[in-house]
Chains A and B, each alone.
Chain A
Amino acid sequence: MERYRLPRTGLFLIPIMFLMMSFQSAFADETCQSPYMPKIVGQEDYVYIITVGVAGMGDGSDKLVTIGVNPKKETYGKIISVASVGGRHEFHHGGLTDDRRYLWAGGLDKSKIFIFDLATDPANPKVANVIENYAKVTGGVVGPHTMYALPGRMIIANLSNSKDYSGRTALTEFTNDGKFIRTIWMPDDAPFGYDIRVNARLNRMLTSSFTGRNNYMRNLKEVVEDENAMNNDSGNEVVLWDLHARKPLQIFKTPGFPLEIRWALMPQHNYAFVHAAAGNTIYLIDRQEDGTFASKPIIDLSDPKDPEKAMITGDISLSAEDKYLFVAFIFEGTTSIYDVSDPHNPKPVITHQKIGGQINMISQSWDGKRIYFTSSSLSKWDAMKEDGTYLDQYFKSYSWDGKKLDHLFTVDFLKEDLGLAHLMRFGQDRFYKNLLPPAE
């Protein structure tokens, strides 16, 4: 008869189990993912890039481009597959489901969501489903932006609405297979949306704010010169929510389009960084002793030689141990890296290293050794040459050792007739084949 016996050393197992639960280093995956997802352990094999189609460039369609990034494979640095969706929808952001089997990619223009199957053949993703009637099912929400995994569901932060296409918008929730659950309109005092990030341990969620379809589908110069757009239809707030109740708790004033949010990942770190894209500022949103949160500017991104100049930022990325914060300066085409080990006293490590003519998204491996950059913001906002063609569009891979950021390879998205490279997500053969890592 089987018996379950606690070994004689059982009492000593308790601290060992604590140690096991605490040991979380040397893994590879993006650091900005939902906490409910499994990580990819070890070297990633693929980076999936959500790409905006350009008329006259290749098939002109939005697409998901798969690039090999494992230096031990023949596909390293190469385009492995391209999954076109037929048509231009202003592809922008997306997100993986909690089981990592599907990647949702949303079009900001026509509000269609394309759901790509990654698991069946991770080197060749295919469209498995399309949510076509987004505005209708959601009660008038458009511009699906951040798609974020909750257990068994996706929560989406949107940019606009179908009534007047202003920035007034909502959060929406769907099941993993695309069935609508509910719409939660943003509070009246902070009606705009953009990003959404969760801190499960604290039961808190942060959302940020941008602008509506009236503006993001217009030429940037027009928007900047439109006083009404800049003053009345642009985001200046970050909202803190009770995650479980989906209720807003606090609103922080963070002028200048607060966009990407990154919660600290380590236990006991109860704070998040948010960059104000046109505000020359990184904000720290930090839990106070009474349990509320407070926001304060923590990094001044302005150019010391020209403090009035707007240093437009596109993305930030926080390393897994909460040590390095990467910032992308869109029109300078540079990245700066800050040591944020003490989040209240960030220190510059690298200042304005040139990556390309323009830059937007940053993704890094969980072990922090590989950093990836892409170039595109929005099709009508990206930098152009005088002849009307795009300045540059790329996917670039770098190594990072804590001191030096060294270029590894570039895929030129213009030369390859692909389009405008935007959001990145990682994939791995071993993960989808359900193989354990090799024993060391």
Chain B
Amino acid sequence: MSKVYRYFFLLAGLSVFTGSSVWSHSDVAPRVDQGELTNIYIQGTYHPEFEPPAPGTYELPVIHTAKDHKVLDNSGNKVGLFESKKGKVAVLSFIYTSCTDPTGCPLSSGVLQRVDQILAKNPELADKVTLMTMSFDPERDNPKRMKKWEDKMVPKTDWKFFTSEDPEQLQIILDDFNQQVDKLYNQDGKWSGLFRHVLKVFLLDEENNIRNIYSVGLFSPQLVMNDVETVLIGSQ
């Protein structure tokens, strides 16, 4: 089976796994049409059909320099986001564990899991990279839940999981990364348990500059890997 389709089925399986974890909770309004949540323009089943350009053959200019922020690790300790990064290149994904949009958080987690597996086969490269998953749902995604999420992802390399102390602290972080997140409400005004967020995953260099922002339309494990190597080549 081609790499594209192996990735594709991994995504589908992860979507199932993620979906089932949500259905075992009462977080999601039961009458929400899943199709309505997939609200981006990508139609049908998304699978990239391209070979990413080779590392070092293109530029990734600085988009924005992010500030360091205090977050909670999955032991409940307050740590600095970049302290955890320790001068490495990082791939940072904002998710929430109750997400049911197959082209949102499940896609992000699936790609990061694959990146983690690729890195695990290249220890020298893995030493230079940190993966970070940050929840934007601190009300439900407490450190204990993020620990469970980490256990699900079965990280093989330096992959850290964070949440925040409260929505106010979270908003400062989201504003810095320009990650728009909105609670979605039912017609009766009650929160549905869901968020609208256009998927964004950030590539940061050793100096915390954002060098790329991925979204559902341009986000594959190999693309991320090539970008990581491109940044590292540029640093040498």
Q: Which of B43-51, B82-90, B162-170 is the interface stretch?
A: B43-51
Contact B44 A267 (CB under 8 A): yes
Count class of interface residues, chain A: 35 or more
- In the bound assembly, the distance between CA atoms of A332 and B194 in angstroms comes to 49
Of B13, B36, B45, B215, which is within 8 A of A98 by CB?
B215
Contact B178 A176 (CB under 8 A): yes
CB-defined interface of A92-114 with B at 8 Å, one 1/0 digit per residue? 00000011010000000000000
Known contacts A38-B196, A200-B42; is A13 also within 8 Å of B20 by CB? Answer: yes
CB-defined interface of B55-78 with A at 8 Å, one 1/0 digit per residue? 001110111100000000000000
Contact A24 B43 (CB under 8 A): yes
Contact A34 B34 (CB under 8 A): no
Q: Which of B111-119, B125-133, B153-161, B185-193 is the interface stretch?
A: B185-193
Contact B178 A152 (CB under 8 A): yes
Contact A151 B200 (CB under 8 A): yes
With both chains docked as a complex, state the minimum distance between the C-beta of B18 and any C-beta of chain A, in angstroms. 9
- In the bound assembly, the distance between CA atoms of A242 and B34 in angstroms comes to 33
Of B36, B44, B49, which is within 8 A of A436 by CB?
B36
Known contacts A13-B19, A21-B103, A245-B53; is A181 also within 8 Å of B185 by CB? Answer: no
- In the bound assembly, the distance between CA atoms of A415 and B39 in angstroms comes to 38
Contact B20 A200 (CB under 8 A): no
CB-defined interface of B197-230 with A at 8 Å, one 1/0 digit per residue? 0101000000000100111111000010000000
Residues of A within 8 A of B21 (CB): 4
Residues of B within 8 A of A4 (CB): 17, 20-21, 24, 148, 152
A72 at the interface (CB under 8 A from B): no
Would you call the interface of chain B mostly helix, strand, loop, or mixed?
loop
Known contacts A14-B12, A21-B38, A38-B40; is A5 also within 8 Å of B49 by CB? Answer: no
- In the bound assembly, the distance between CA atoms of A201 and B49 in angstroms comes to 6
Known contacts A14-B13, A152-B178, A434-B183; is A36 also within 8 Å of B40 by CB? Answer: yes
- In the bound assembly, the distance between CA atoms of A176 and B46 in angstroms comes to 25
Most buried by B among A3, A265, A434, A437: A434
CB-defined interface of A239-283 with B at 8 Å, one 1/0 digit per residue? 000111111000000000000000001111000000000000000
Residues of A within 8 A of B5 (CB): none
Contact A243 B38 (CB under 8 A): no
Contact A37 B198 (CB under 8 A): yes
Contact A179 B31 (CB under 8 A): no
CB-defined interface of A414-440 with B at 8 Å, one 1/0 digit per residue? 000000000000000000011111111
- In the bound assembly, the distance between CA atoms of A41 and B40 in angstroms comes to 10
Contact B103 A151 (CB under 8 A): no
A133 at the interface (CB under 8 A from B): no
- In the bound assembly, the distance between CA atoms of A342 and B203 in angstroms comes to 40
Of A14, A38, A265, A436, which is within 8 A of B198 by CB?
A38
With both chains docked as a complex, state the minimum distance between the C-beta of B58 and any C-beta of chain A, in angstroms. 4
Most buried by B among A5, A33, A182, A203: A203
Contact B223 A244 (CB under 8 A): yes
- In the bound assembly, the distance between CA atoms of A4 and B147 in angstroms comes to 13
Residues of B within 8 A of A10 (CB): 16, 20
Would you call the interface of chain A mostly helix, strand, loop, or mixed?
loop
- In the bound assembly, the distance between CA atoms of A438 and B32 in angstroms comes to 9
Residues of A within 8 A of B183 (CB): 434
- In the bound assembly, the distance between CA atoms of A182 and B43 in angstroms comes to 30
Contact B186 A436 (CB under 8 A): yes
A177 at the interface (CB under 8 A from B): yes
Known contacts A201-B48, A202-B50; is A6 also within 8 Å of B16 by CB? Answer: yes
Contact B33 A6 (CB under 8 A): no
- In the bound assembly, the distance between CA atoms of A186 and B21 in angstroms comes to 49
Of B17, B36, B52, which is within 8 A of A244 by CB?
B52
Residues of A within 8 A of B59 (CB): 182, 246
With both chains docked as a complex, state the minimum distance between the C-beta of A219 and any C-beta of chain B, in angstroms. 38
B15 at the interface (CB under 8 A from A): yes
- In the bound assembly, the distance between CA atoms of A202 and B48 in angstroms comes to 6
Contact A17 B43 (CB under 8 A): no
- In the bound assembly, the distance between CA atoms of A309 and B22 in angstroms comes to 62
Known contacts A151-B213, A201-B217, A267-B44; is A99 also within 8 Å of B180 by CB? Answer: yes
Known contacts A6-B16, A202-B49; is A20 also within 8 Å of B58 by CB? Answer: no
- In the bound assembly, the distance between CA atoms of A150 and B198 in angstroms comes to 11
User: Which chain A residue lies CB-closest to B64?
Assistant: A175
Contact A203 B52 (CB under 8 A): yes
Known contacts A21-B102, A244-B58, A436-B187; is A5 also within 8 Å of B15 by CB? Answer: no
- With A35-B41, A242-B58, A244-B58 known, 14 other A-B pairs at CB within 8 A are A4-B21, A14-B13, A18-B45, A22-B43, A36-B215, A151-B217, A151-B218, A176-B178, A245-B53, A245-B58, A247-B58, A435-B187, A436-B29, A439-B187
Query: What are 19 A-B interface contacts by the 8 Å CB criterion?
Result: A4-B17, A7-B20, A14-B12, A20-B34, A20-B102, A21-B15, A35-B42, A36-B198, A36-B218, A151-B214, A152-B210, A153-B213, A182-B59, A182-B61, A198-B217, A201-B48, A201-B49, A244-B58, A437-B33
The interface of chain B, by Cβ under 8 A from chain A, is: 12-13, 15-17, 19-21, 23-24, 29, 31-36, 38-50, 52-53, 57-59, 61-64, 102-103, 148, 152, 178, 180, 182-187, 192, 194, 196, 198, 200, 210, 213-218, 223
The interface of chain A, by Cβ under 8 A from chain B, is: 2-7, 10, 13-14, 17-18, 20-24, 33-39, 41, 98-99, 101, 150-153, 173, 175-177, 179, 181-182, 198, 200-204, 242-247, 265-268, 320, 433-440
Interchain residue pairs A-B with the least CB separation, the first 5? A200-B217, A267-B44, A203-B50, A245-B58, A151-B215
